[in-house]
């Protein structure tokens, strides 16, 4: 049942909109060639659980600030297979000193406009990449 998206909605309903939300409902339909099934599951989510999620979320944001301020983003190998697989898997499977081979032809390097605030004076460029 723990789910970032749903907990964020519950937190916003309770804390921002001041609505007395107890939890959430999932309605599901399974359809087959000769059948159709319906199911409903009701979840109550305690204030303590959402408060913990909120505190943890703030902590994750603080960690993100540390990454941005240090301009160092450590690899997270638990995410490599998400959403069909990370685009950088082939590069990350090799030693850092060899990654320029993969970045050289397939990637264009530029700073995303949303990160302008944290842009370092000198942008680290991976040798071999397009600019």
Chain contacts with ligand SF4 (rule: CB under 6 A) = 75-77, 79-80, 86, 88-89, 92
The CA-atom distances, in angstroms, between 99 and each of 58, 76, 82, 111 are 33, 16, 21, 19
Residue closer to ligand SF4, measured from CB, 30 or 78: 78
**Cβ(71)–Cβ(120) below 8 Å:** yes
Answer for the pair 45, 24: CB distance below 8 angstroms, yes or no. yes
- In the complex with ligand SF4, the residue whose CB is nearer, 4 or 76, is 76
CB 58, min distance to ligand SF4, A: 23
CB of 3 to ligand SF4, least distance (A): 21
Least distance from ligand SF4 to the Cβ atom of residue 85, Å: 8
Closer residue to ligand SF4 (CB): 6 or 86: 86
Instruction: Considering only the C-alpha atoms of the chain, give the largest distance between any 2 of them, rounded to a whole number of Å.
Output: 63
Nearer to ligand SF4 (CB atom), residue 33 or residue 79? 79
Give the nearest distance from C-beta 47 to ligand SF4 in angstroms: 34
Whether the Cβ atoms of residue 104 and residue 90 lie closer than 8 Å to each other: no
Which residues is 42 bridged to in the sheet? 25
The rounded distance, in Å, linking the Cα atoms of 20 and 40 is 21
């Amino acid at each position: 049942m723990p789910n970032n998206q749903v907990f964020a909605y519950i937190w916003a309903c309770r804390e921002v909109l001041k609505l007395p939300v107890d939890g959430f409902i999932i309605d599901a339909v399974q359809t087959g060639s000769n059948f159709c099934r319906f199911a409903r599951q009701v979840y109550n989510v305690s204030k303590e659980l959402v408060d913990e999620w909120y505190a943890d979320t703030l902590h994750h944001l603080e960690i993100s600030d540390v990454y941005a301020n240090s301009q160092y983003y450590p690899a997270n190998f638990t995410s490599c297979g998400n959403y069909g697989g990370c685009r950088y898997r082939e590069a990350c499977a090799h030693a850092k000193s060899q990654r320029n081979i993969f970045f050289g032809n397939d990637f264009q390097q530029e700073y995303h406009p949303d990160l302008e605030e944290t842009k370092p004076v000198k942008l680290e460029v991976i040798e071999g990449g397009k600019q």
